[in-house]
Structure 1
């Protein structure tokens, strides 16, 4: 008897467009998929392939490939895409990507899945997983650094993990902050635009989601007990926080190797502030092999670089749900 993966591809692959992704997959689905794949990575049951990411010399774009294989979830494939900074002026999102899924038993293409919505959803799920496992239970104030396309996804996902009462936000371009304010109001939360120093003074949890190449948050601004999810740094040279913060924090990452090469930790490790051995995969906390937060005074920092396995995990869920709901028609070639 063929297994379910072979059965799913025997009649062809499916094309799951952006509109279908938005219909079928929820934040809870994305959270569960990302949490499970982080746990699988920490057990050694899943691994990411080396990342290819290049400036193509056209339209100021960065383009590349992220892929991997999850033996537990049986997800195999890659995401192709990148960042086009001029897209917003064209009415498009700056991040553009497509996920290719393959049957690990046969190598046959099983799905082409739009990656734009899912990238924002899985990035938010990643920080949300870190909040669930590392933030203080009594966290009340959420700090948002960044107000671009992904920020509203981050906000909606974060508030489902703790009983936040207020959102404080800062963005290098303050005219973008009303979008976050509107979402906070919709969620019944107080909202305040603040300076970055005041953000650090008020926030129990901070999410940074920018494309910065310099520190926006300094170490001295962060209170004891804060949890910080650094979500914007995914390329050599990018940077959102002061490297000195790493010496004050217990540091976790989605994948340690990627964290020190293209993540926020590249700067702290490069400057000798911490060593690679000082970073723990967040999957170890999920699996219970690391205790996570040790006290209410401890600063915890999650370096969310964005791994290919996240994309494959959420894309696989979207493809499965689209098939089950009859929203896609198999294609053969």
Structure 2
């Protein structure tokens, strides 16, 4: 079995490699060449932590495995560790033997950012110039770096529940040479692309905060009850997702479905746009929304890619398991 420690990931995995891996696996999902297993996600009753498993099998890429991990909200304050902790396990699909164990913390941040940037590539207007960020935590910085590579944005605007954290995304914008402006939520009407990356259980972005032609990537809702945007916004938009079953049960679509504003048939796989079986955006006035719930196959795709890189560079640790 091979081990790729967390400390090695930053020197192995690039944003482009993550983007390519996620785009490819979304396409495989839409072609029914890959599927995710049911998600297990539980409040464990200790340290206020959420813990769970996401897994799947990619027949096209012959990748089988799972990611184990979750969210420990007290880690940073108590231990100086990031709050999201995870590890990816890969198995040989021919024999079932364990093949690799890979540090999943940075990979999770990279694959989540890759998913929203894949949605921007395939759904945002070509002439998008202003990108809006809702959320300014650790993951938001990854989101913004990846998004800025998809269009020639000339302005970043941002809002956060805790305004003092906006400096995190302002720094990313400044490093990219793009001006930054803090706005209130109605100010998001200026944005051509909006990324929402919070862990909220009540909506912040409302339908009237969004202008025609905007593309929204909702990246924070991955649990029953979580919600970042008003359900009425999904009724105004053409809705895409990584996986329909997760979108309607634990993603943003759960609320619009519950309120009868949309039906399951109104939620489309982003992979179908990548494959060309769905036309994607149909006009410059259409609002498109990507409900990024986070699927196990994303984790397996980037972990498999990083294992190949680690072997190539002689970094992978081999153990007799």
8 A Cα contact 2:4 2:317, kept in partner? no
Q: Counterpart in 2 of 1:173?
A: 162
Counterparts of 1:329 and 1:247, CA distance in 2: 50
1:168-247 matches, within 5 Å, as: 168-198=157-187, 200-247=188-235
1:115-136 alpha-carbon deviations (Å, 9 max, x no partner):
1000000000000000000000
Counterparts of 1:21 and 1:111, CA distance in 2: 14
Q: Structure 2 length normalisation: TM-score?
A: 0.99
8 A Cα contact 2:72 2:83, kept in partner? yes
Aligned partner of residue 11 in structure 2, secondary structure? helix
1:1-333 matches, within 5 Å, as: 13-89=1-77, 90-198=79-187, 200-333=188-321
Aligned partner of residue 185 in structure 1, secondary structure? helix
1:264-316 alpha-carbon deviations (Å, 9 max, x no partner):
11000011010000010000000000000000000000000000000000000
Cα distance, 1:262 vs structure 2: 0.4
8 A Cα contact 2:112 2:294, kept in partner? yes
Aligned partner of residue 138 in structure 2, secondary structure? coil
Counterparts of 1:141 and 1:78, CA distance in 2: 37
Q: CA RMSD in A?
A: 0.6
Aligned partner of residue 10 in structure 2, secondary structure? helix
Cα distance, 1:106 vs structure 2: 1.3
Aligned partner of residue 133 in structure 2, secondary structure? strand
Counterparts of 1:167 and 1:29, CA distance in 2: 25
Counterparts of 1:151 and 1:220, CA distance in 2: 23
85-94 or 233-242, which moves further after superposition? 85-94
Counterparts of 2:33 and 2:158, CA distance in 1: 38
Aligned partner of residue 232 in structure 1, secondary structure? coil
Cα distance, 1:201 vs structure 2: 1.5
Counterparts of 2:178 and 2:80, CA distance in 1: 29
Cα distance, 1:165 vs structure 2: 0.6
Cα distance, 1:329 vs structure 2: 2.5
Counterparts of 2:76 and 2:227, CA distance in 1: 22
Q: Counterpart in 2 of 1:7?
A: none
